[in-house]
Structure 1
Amino acid sequence: MKLLFVGAGMSGAVAGRQLAEAGHEVHIIDRRDHVGGNCHTERDGDTGVMVHVYGPHIFHTDDEGVWDYVNRFATFMPYKNRVKTTSQGAVYSLPVNLHTINQFYGKTMRPAEARAFLEEQADTSITDPQTFEDQALRFVGPDLYAAFFKGYTEKQWGCSPTDLPASILKRLPVRFNYDDNYFFHRFQGMPEHGYTALVEQMLDHPGITVQLGTDYTPGMADAYDHVFYAGPLDGYFDYKLGRLGYRTLDFEKFTEDGDYQGCAVMNYGDRDVPYTRITEHKHFSPWESHEGSVCYREFSRAAEPDDIPYYPIRMVDEKALLADYVALAEQAQGVTFVGRLGTYRYLDMDVTIREALDVADAFLAAQTEGRAMPAFAVSPL
């Protein structure tokens, strides 16, 4: 069959590769001039540093199948994400761990003591946290909340933490040991030559053609047996019901000689610092050595129509509009929506890859059984 993939990011590359290997003719288009989507990496011309052009991406997963899959196409180097934060005039480790707690309170507590101490600080009257702020006050208390979560969250999401669901904070654990590895997954690493090289290897197959700098138009679908759409769900329907809300990021790039901040990621928790974090990109490739350094100051704001969408907001209004778009999508013929934008969900890379593999399997099964491929392999709702 002739298949069109809209988007040359992880979703399109993985599912496209799988279906090309199964014998289908795969054509992939992307409006940008490079593959890899927001994972795109490139060498800085002045320093030689591998830069994560749209912000840092760290690969981490417990899915052994996904780990084995990406290692088919690239050598993954060991990498542990160790995040620091500057707050109230001091530098601390994140996520909040035993070192953070002892440093912040000027104590030398053991794990059990710290656990009991934080329970004393917590607002135990909150039995069913509904908001981000409720969740923080219940589990870390007002002091740690103010230092590490409140200001950062206001900058990142552009609203009060009282307006955000508690589920956002559930992804940020508190550790009662000295483990400062930001992630806790079994498999963690970085592709040795960057993510764009990884995606290029996925796309290197005789059954795949790639056309960059190309926007999708509805008439294109007529030339194909099926379309896999990884662009914005609302964009497929020309935003006729309105636009789904996203946060976007602005990057202020600067270069330095030597080592600017001594770590890959430095968050800034204070509300009066306008940026959320500074990333120093040579630290994402610690197996390399560079005299110069490339850094990004990162600013978060509401996405405008011409901005790159990063984080789906998924508040009450957006979820209602999403349900309307999902209903439209389910009535469409010959198209399956995939990936972060196509399903309006925040997805880590490993989940994106797993879902792309599953989408390819589902398509092959549907063809074998004579069934139509659904609009969504995973419901966005």
Structure 2
Amino acid sequence: MNILMVGAGFSCAVVARELANAGHKISIVEQRPHIAGNCHTERDGETGVMVHVYGPHIFHTDDVEVWEYVNRFSTFKPYVNRVKSTVGGSVFSLPINLHTINQFFGKTLRPDEAKAFIQAQADTSIENPRTFEEQALKFVGADLYEAFFKGYTKKQWGCEPSELPASILKRLPVRFNYNDNYFFHRFQGMPEHGYTALIEGILDHENISVRLNTAFERGMMSTFDHTFYSGPLDGYFGYSEGRLGYRTLDFERFIYDGDYQGCAVMNYGEERVPYTRITEHKHFSPWEEHEGSVCYREYSRACGVDDIPYYPIRLVEEKAMLSRYVELAESAEGVTFVGRLGTYRYLDMDVTIREALDTARDYLRALRENTRVPAFFVNPI
């Protein structure tokens, strides 16, 4: 088969590699001047620091096959994500753990004491939390919610926490020990030479060709047997039903001679601070040594027409619009929608790779069995 891939991020790269291994010819078009999508990394010319150009990406997973897959194409170095937060003139560890609790309340509680203390702080009148705010108040009470969640969430999402679903907070655990590892997953690390080099390795196959600086046009599909599309779902249909809502990020870059903040990620939870966090990128490669440092202040705002979409909003209005686009997609022929933008879902890298591997296998099965290839192998709704 002669197959077109739209986008050169993880989704299409992994599907392309698996189909190329099966003997199919793959052509990838990518509108940016580089591969790897928002995971793109590059060396800073001034300091030599490996920079995560579109914001930091930390690889973490419990999926053994996915971990083994990425390690085929890059050496992964150990990396533990330890996030700090500046609130009220003090620095705390995130996610909220025993150290955070003791420091914030000026106590020396043991784990059982801390659990009982937080339960006493929590709003037990909320039985079934429906919103982010209710979930936070039920988990940790008003004081910790106000300090670490309320202002940060308003800046990140551009709305009141009472307007967001409770499910968002499930990504932020509370621990009653001193474990400050942000993730629970068994496998965690960073590709030694960056994510762009990793995806270069995945795309290094005689059956795969890549064209950069090439915008997708629907007319391209006519010369291919099938298309995998990882661009914006609404964009494929010319935004006929309206534009799906996203948040985007603005980055304010600055150079520092030395170590600016002593950690990779420093959150700023207070609403009066306009940025959500500062990232210092040399700390994402702790096995390297650099005198200079590259830092970014991150500002979150509504995504405009010409902005890069980062976080799908997926509130009530967007979900109704999404349903209309899914109907259009399922009636289209010769195209499958994949990835974060193609399915309008927030996806961690390991989940993106898992879905791409499964999509490639399901596509090959459909070819063998001569059945219709669906528009979605994963339901976006």
- So what's the TM-score if we normalise by structure 1? 1.00
Residue 333 (structure 2) aligns with = 333
Q: Which residue identity lines up with residue 150 of structure 1 in the other structure?
A: K
Q: Residues 29-72 of structure 1: CA distance to partner in whole angstroms, max 9, x if unpaired?
A: 10000000000000000000000000000000000000000000
Residue 88 (structure 2) aligns with = 88
Q: CA deviation at 1:136?
A: 0.4
- Rounded Cα–Cα distance in structure 2 between residues aligned with 1:315 and 1:230: 22
Residue 182 (structure 1) aligns with = 182
- Rounded Cα–Cα distance in structure 1 between residues aligned with 2:88 and 2:368: 61
Alignment of 1:286 onto 2:286: yes
Give runs of aligned pairs for residues 220-259 of structure 1, distance below 5 A.
220-259=220-259
- Rounded Cα–Cα distance in structure 2 between residues aligned with 1:140 and 1:317: 30
Q: Residues 184-213 of structure 1: CA distance to partner in whole angstroms, max 9, x if unpaired?
A: 100000000000000001011000000000
- Rounded Cα–Cα distance in structure 2 between residues aligned with 1:373 and 1:322: 21
* Corresponding residue SS for 1:140: helix
Residue 6 (structure 1) aligns with = 6
- Rounded Cα–Cα distance in structure 1 between residues aligned with 2:351 and 2:170: 18
Say how many residue pairs are matched: 381
Q: Which residue identity lines up with residue 371 of structure 2 in the other structure?
A: R
- Rounded Cα–Cα distance in structure 2 between residues aligned with 1:336 and 1:117: 51
Residue 138 (structure 1) aligns with = 138
What percentage of aligned pairs have identical amino acids?
73
Q: CA deviation at 1:170?
A: 1.1
Alignment of 1:318 onto 2:322: no
Residue 379 (structure 1) aligns with = 379
Q: Residues 317-358 of structure 1: CA distance to partner in whole angstroms, max 9, x if unpaired?
A: 000000000000000000000000000000000000000000
- Rounded Cα–Cα distance in structure 1 between residues aligned with 2:6 and 2:129: 40
* Corresponding residue SS for 2:47: coil
- Rounded Cα–Cα distance in structure 2 between residues aligned with 1:176 and 1:380: 35
Residue 67 (structure 1) aligns with = 67
- Rounded Cα–Cα distance in structure 2 between residues aligned with 1:156 and 1:89: 21
- Rounded Cα–Cα distance in structure 1 between residues aligned with 2:7 and 2:19: 15
* Gaps in structure 2 of 5+ consecutive residues: none
* Corresponding residue SS for 1:190: strand
Q: Residues 137-188 of structure 1: CA distance to partner in whole angstroms, max 9, x if unpaired?
A: 0110000000000000000000000000000001110000000000010000
Q: Could you list the runs of 4 or more consecutive aligned residues of structure 1 that deviate by over 2 angstroms after TM superposition? A: none
Q: CA deviation at 1:364?
A: 0.3
- So what's the TM-score if we normalise by structure 2? 1.00
Alignment of 1:118 onto 2:137: no
- Rounded Cα–Cα distance in structure 2 between residues aligned with 1:193 and 1:278: 23
- Rounded Cα–Cα distance in structure 2 between residues aligned with 1:38 and 1:218: 23
- Rounded Cα–Cα distance in structure 2 between residues aligned with 1:14 and 1:348: 15
Q: Residues 84-126 of structure 1: CA distance to partner in whole angstroms, max 9, x if unpaired?
A: 0001110000000000000000000011100000011111000
Q: Which residue identity lines up with residue 351 of structure 2 in the other structure?
A: V
- Rounded Cα–Cα distance in structure 2 between residues aligned with 1:204 and 1:67: 19
* Gaps in structure 1 of 5+ consecutive residues: none
* Corresponding residue SS for 2:4: strand
Q: CA deviation at 1:257?
A: 0.4
* Corresponding residue SS for 2:307: coil
- Rounded Cα–Cα distance in structure 2 between residues aligned with 1:89 and 1:72: 45
Residue 33 (structure 1) aligns with = 33
Q: CA deviation at 1:15?
A: 0.5
Residue 268 (structure 1) aligns with = 268
- Rounded Cα–Cα distance in structure 2 between residues aligned with 1:333 and 1:37: 26
Q: Which residue identity lines up with residue 117 of structure 1 in the other structure?
A: F
Q: CA deviation at 1:16?
A: 0.3
- Rounded Cα–Cα distance in structure 1 between residues aligned with 2:219 and 2:185: 43
Q: Which residue identity lines up with residue 326 of structure 1 in the other structure?
A: V
Q: Which residue identity lines up with residue 283 of structure 1 in the other structure?
A: H
- Rounded Cα–Cα distance in structure 1 between residues aligned with 2:206 and 2:139: 54
Q: CA deviation at 1:372?
A: 1.2
- Rounded Cα–Cα distance in structure 2 between residues aligned with 1:22 and 1:242: 38
Q: CA deviation at 1:280?
A: 0.1
Q: Residues 262-321 of structure 1: CA distance to partner in whole angstroms, max 9, x if unpaired?
A: 000000000000000000000000000000000000000000010000000000000000
